[in-house]
Structure 1
Amino acid sequence: MTPPQAILVFPHLRVQNANAISSPLTHGFPSITAFTGLMWALERKLAQAQIPLRLHGVGVVCHHHQEQVTQGYVRTFNLTRNPVDKDGSTAAIVEEGRIHLDITLVFAVSEKPLPGTPPRLVQDARETLQQWADEAGHVLSHMRVAGGSLLPVRPALGKRVRPWMAVLPDEAKKREESFREWRRQWLPGFALVGRDDLLAERLRMLRERTPQTTLLDAWLHASRFNYQPVNPEAGDGKVRWADPLRPRGSGWIVPIPVGYAALSGQHAAGTVGNARDATVPLRFVESVYSLGEWISPHRLARLEHLLWHAETDEDKGLYRCRSGYAASAEPDDLADGTQGRDEEDIYAYT
C-alpha cells in the first residue's frame, strides 16, 4: 500500500442537518463510517475531475455543534411535519435526528502515478497543490457530508477557511514539527479518536468482580455514569457520590459505532430483492461499537493519531474503522505510522 505523501485539509466546513443518529444505540454526532464513506466518494469524484489523488485516511475535528433537540432534562428531537399524502391524510412522522456542525476534515493523500509523467506532489509545487485543493473543495461543495448539506464558506477573521494541501516531510522529526504547526489551526476544537484500549481495560476490571461479564456489558457500563458513595474526607463526615472510574481529568469518553459485523454470508449480486445496488454482492450486517474520546488537537503527537482508516476482515465478517491514536505513545514510538494492537480484537456488537 502506498504511504500517504501529503494532507488535504477542508477547514471549518459548515454542515447543516447532518445525521445525528449514528447507530441504533448512539446519537449526538455522525458515525465515523459516514466520514470514511465520504472519503471514498470524494476519491471517485476527484478521479472524474482528473485530480490524481488517492485518499488513505480521514481525521475529524469538531469546532461547534448544535443538535436539533428540545432543551430540558429529557430531550427529544425536533421533527419536521411532512406534507399530507395524495389523498389528503396526515403523513406519518418518521423520527430523524439532525445536527448542525462546524468541522475540519483532514485527509491523508498520495498521488496516483500516471505513466510517462513526473510526480507533481512535491514540496516546491505550491501552485499545483493549491489548485488541487481548490478543485477538491469545489467538488466537495456539491456533496453530502454525513447526510447534511454544505453551506457556503464565510470568511472570518483569524480563521483559515480555504482548502489547502501540504506535503509531508520525509524525516519523522520534521514531520512532527510540521504537524505541530498545522494542529494550531484546528483550535479551538476537539478531534475524535478511538479508545479500544479503554474498553479492554473496563472489561478486565469488571471481570475481576463478575467473571461472566461480556464485552457488551463492559461497553454499556463505560457508556454511562456509575455513581456510588465514596469515602468521606478526613474531618468532613459527609458521604459523597461519584463515579470512581470517571475521575477528574479522565477525558471526554463517549460510546461510538466504528463499523459493521456480518450477520450472514455474502449473497451474489442481483439475488436479493430491493437491494440498493444490484451489481455488487450483498451482506446483512449490524453495528459494531467501541469507545472514542474527544481530545484537543494540541494533545495529538503526530498526524497518524488523528486519522481513521477502514479495515476489512472477510473471514470474521468484520468491516470497521481503525484509529491511529495511541494514548501512551511517545514521540519516538510508532515512527512508521503504525499502531500495535492486542491479539484479541476489541469491539462489541449487538
Structure 2
Amino acid sequence: MRCILLLPKLEIHNANALSSPYTIGFPAMTAWLGAVHALQRRLNQAGHPELRFTRAGVVCHDIKLHTHQGRGDYVQSIIGTGNPLDKNGGRPSFIEEARCDLTVSLLIEYDSLARSVTADGYIKAVEKQLHLIKWASGDLVHYAEPQLKAIDDAKSLRQLTRQLMPSYTLIERRDLMTEAMQDGQDAIDALLDYLTVQHRSQLNDDNIEWTANRKTKGWLVPIANGFQGISELGIAENQRDPDTLHRFAESLVTLGEFIMPYRVKHLDELLWHSHYNADNNLYLIQQNPRNA
C-alpha cells in the first residue's frame, strides 16, 4: 500500500515561471520538490520527527503567465514589477523575472505515520505550515483541504486520477533524449529536434496546403530537473549554512511531457524523487524508468 498526502487546488500567485534556464512556462520540478522538502522539515520541527516525504508529483489545473503580446507583435514580453524609486527618484535597475499565477494539486508520498498521530491531527499540522512556505517562489492564496489517500490497487489509483481531472501532469521523457544521443546527436541538438515545429507546404491541384509537425507526438517541453556540480565541495565565504559543504553548480535540462492524469496506469508515473549521482556530481529530480 502506498500512502499519499494530497494537497488539492493550491492557488499560487507570482510563482517563478523559469521552466528551464532557456525557457519560461510551468515552474521547474526542482522548485516543487524543494517546496515539498521544506514542508517536511517544518513538520519535523513541529513535532513529527519521524515523517519522511519520499516522492512527489504535481498536476496543473490552470496557469497564467505574466506576459503581454501587443497587436502585431511576434513575441511576447515579460510583465515586470514596479520597483520602488531610488534615492534620486529614478527607476532602479532590475533583472526581468518570469512569473505566473497557477492552480496545482500536489501528491506527496510519505512513510507511514506514527501510531500516536491521528489523520485529522496530521492534516491540521500540514495546514498550519502551508501559508508559511514559498511554493515555486510564489505565495499561496487559497487551497482545498488536504487529504490522506491509500493507493493499493488499480481501482484506488483510478479514483485518485479522476479526482485530479481536469488537469495535466508532467512526466519525464529523458528516454527520448537518451535515444537521440545514442544515435549521435549532442544534448542541445536532441532537445531542439524534439521541440522544433516544422512547417511544410505541398501543392495539390493548384492549392497550397500547409502542415505543421513535430518529430514525435505529445506535448513535449524542456524542464529543469536538477544540477551538476562544477566545483569541488568546500566552504564558501559568507555561506548561509556554516555546517554544510557548498559547491558551484549548473542547471540540468531534459524533456518532459504533459499528459492528462487519466492516462496514468501506475502511481510511479505521477511521482518524482531526488537522486544523487556521486560519480558525475549530479543532483537529479527524476522518475523511475518508464519500463520499470
| 1:308 alignment partner, one of 256, 267, 272 | 272
Q: Which residue of 2 aligns with 1:200?
A: 178
* 1:261 lines up with 2:228 in the alignment: yes
Query: In structure 2, how many angstroms separate the alpha carbons of the residues matched to 1:301 and 1:187?
Result: 15
Query: In structure 1, how many angstroms separate the alpha carbons of the residues matched to 2:180 and 2:210?
Result: 23
- Distance change >3 Å, CA 278–CA 238, structure 1 → 2: same
Secondary structure, aligned partner of 1:144: coil
Question: Offset of 1:70 from its aligned partner?
Answer: 0.3
Q: Identify unmatched segments of 5+ residues in structure 2.
A: none
Q: What pairs up with 1:52-67 in 2 under 5 angstroms?
A: 52-67=50-65
Query: In structure 1, how many angstroms separate the alpha carbons of the residues matched to 2:267 and 2:123?
Result: 19
In structure 2, give the amino acid aligned to 1:223: L
1:269-301 residue CA offsets vs partner (Å, 9 max, x unmatched): 3xx224343331111111111100111001001
Query: In structure 2, how many angstroms separate the alpha carbons of the residues matched to 1:295 and 1:325?
Result: 17
* 1:140 lines up with 2:130 in the alignment: yes
- Distance change >3 Å, CA 141–CA 325, structure 1 → 2: farther
Query: In structure 2, how many angstroms separate the alpha carbons of the residues matched to 1:298 and 1:325?
Result: 19
In structure 2, give the amino acid aligned to 1:166: K
Contact kept, 8 Å, 2:193 with 2:215, in 1: the verdict is: no
1:34-84 residue CA offsets vs partner (Å, 9 max, x unmatched): 111112111111111213421001110000000100035310111012111
* 1:322 lines up with 2:286 in the alignment: yes
| 1:189 alignment partner, one of 163, 167, 173 | 167
Q: Which residue of 2 aligns with 1:245?
A: 215
Q: Which has the higher strand share?
A: 2
Question: Offset of 1:319 from its aligned partner?
Answer: 0.6
- Distance change >3 Å, CA 282–CA 293, structure 1 → 2: same
Q: Identify unmatched segments of 5+ residues in structure 1.
A: 114-118, 122-127, 154-160, 170-174, 330-338, 340-350
Question: Offset of 1:5 from its aligned partner?
Answer: 4.2
Question: Offset of 1:140 from its aligned partner?
Answer: 1.5
- Distance change >3 Å, CA 281–CA 168, structure 1 → 2: same
- Distance change >3 Å, CA 228–CA 202, structure 1 → 2: farther
Q: Which residue of 1 aligns with 2:254?
A: 290
| 1:44 alignment partner, one of 28, 41, 46 | 41
In structure 2, give the amino acid aligned to 1:282: H
Question: Offset of 1:236 from its aligned partner?
Answer: 7.9
TM-score using structure 1 length: 0.76
1:200-224 residue CA offsets vs partner (Å, 9 max, x unmatched): 33445xx4xxx5x312211122222
RMSD: 2.3
| 1:27 alignment partner, one of 24, 27, 30 | 24
Secondary structure, aligned partner of 2:5: strand
Query: In structure 1, how many angstroms separate the alpha carbons of the residues matched to 2:4 and 2:120?
Result: 12
Query: In structure 1, how many angstroms separate the alpha carbons of the residues matched to 2:96 and 2:223?
Result: 20
Contact kept, 8 Å, 1:26 with 1:257, in 2: the verdict is: no
Q: Which residue of 1 aligns with 2:199?
A: 227
Contact kept, 8 Å, 2:274 with 2:283, in 1: the verdict is: yes
Question: Offset of 1:321 from its aligned partner?
Answer: 0.8
Query: In structure 1, how many angstroms separate the alpha carbons of the residues matched to 2:167 and 2:141?
Result: 19
**Count of paired positions:** 288
Q: Which residue of 1 aligns with 2:98?
A: 97
Question: Offset of 1:23 from its aligned partner?
Answer: 3.1
Q: Which residue of 2 aligns with 1:77?
A: 78
Larger RCO (alpha carbons 8 Å, 6+ apart): 2
Percent sequence identity over matched residues?
A: 33
Question: Offset of 1:237 from its aligned partner?
Answer: 6.7
Question: Offset of 1:241 from its aligned partner?
Answer: 3.8
